[in-house]
Amino acid sequence: MIFKVKNIDNDYRNLKNFEVFLFYGPNIGKSENLSKKLLKNIFKNESKYNSLVKLNDINADSSSIKELGFGSDLFGDKKIIICKFNNLSSVINIEDLKNIVSTRSSKVIIISGDLEKKNKIRKAFESSKFFVSIPCYEDNFYEKETIIKESLKKEGIYLSDQLVKMLIDSNDRDRNFLNQKLEKIINYYKFKQTINSKVLYEIINDSKTIDIENLVYNIFSGNLEDFDTLYNFLFKQGVNNITIINACARHAHKLYEAKFKSENCSIETAVEQMKPPIFFKHKKNFINHLKIWNFPLLERVISLLSEIEQNLKTANNNQHLLSKFSLLKILLKARKLARYPS
């Protein structure tokens, strides 16, 4: 069953009797925002649901929902299972979800990216009166305006209608990227106490740089969960593979430089000495990278990225796959290092 939901708080009375929900679409930020509000309402209004389990591509397989979805936990509380998968068909079993509905044993919230009309999971949700399907497409003008004004109001920041419209017109199809711009506006305002059209223009047009930087930090942190979303978004935006590879190489060089500085002072002091400075939002992650990546590994990464860049310049086909596979190798190494630091 398809529900077109804009405000979970207002629509919750129509949703509370359902057990299984699918949030999908290209607007990942909207899916995440609406699913969080649904979760908040469940906890607020239904005392029997006090146990939360999060599943993703790393910690789940096709049997996970079946194993977790039936019965209560040790304290007699029913579970809410949050699922965020890149490949739904390999993990989601419709029959398991039907059994959860019939037993009312758990609530399952599934968050996905865009799904084609012929996708089996999407079709099953849309055709069943027991499942809730909530498509999340680009926010309209009013939704974007509301997000902007409410976010800035919380920080005591006022933008003229002209600047608000300028921000709305920046064509953010995913709410996450509008939120990133708002974060930069808030940070800038706290420092300068003013925002004009020139500054806003620079923030809007710097959005791809922000997205690339987020991808780089995800790679060197070993964050597999968001890799596909960030990488594929940049690819669709037309960002060149070599641009991403070079951004990763610059980050590896920065780590190498900071690690060299830290031999004569603390890591925190070394980071403070970096020029240009590390953006404060990323400082904690940058310090963590310094702790898990040693000199030999950084040298190997720099060498690998240089080799990939040369291969991309000569390869006519499969550039996207070559780049993505190489970056995944670095990410998986980081993931291992984060668990077993060198």
- In tens, the pLDDT along 3-45 reads 877 778 787 888 888 889 999 988 888 888 899 999 888 888 8
94: exposed, middle or buried (Cβ count in 10 Å: 0-12, 13-18, 19+): middle
Strand order in the sheet with 78-84: 49-56, 78-84, 106-111, 20-24, 131-135
Res. 207 pLDDT band, cuts 50 70 90: low
Per residue in 251-267, pLDDT tens? 999 999 999 989 889 98
> Strand pairing partners for 53?
81
| β-sheet bridge partners, residue 336 | none
Quote the pLDDT of residue 18: 87
Examine the pLDDT at 75 and tell me if it is beyond 60: no
Contacts of 253 (CB under 8 A, 6+ apart): 302
Structure tokens at 237: 């935006």
pLDDT of 313 > 80? The answer is no
Model pTM above 0.85: no
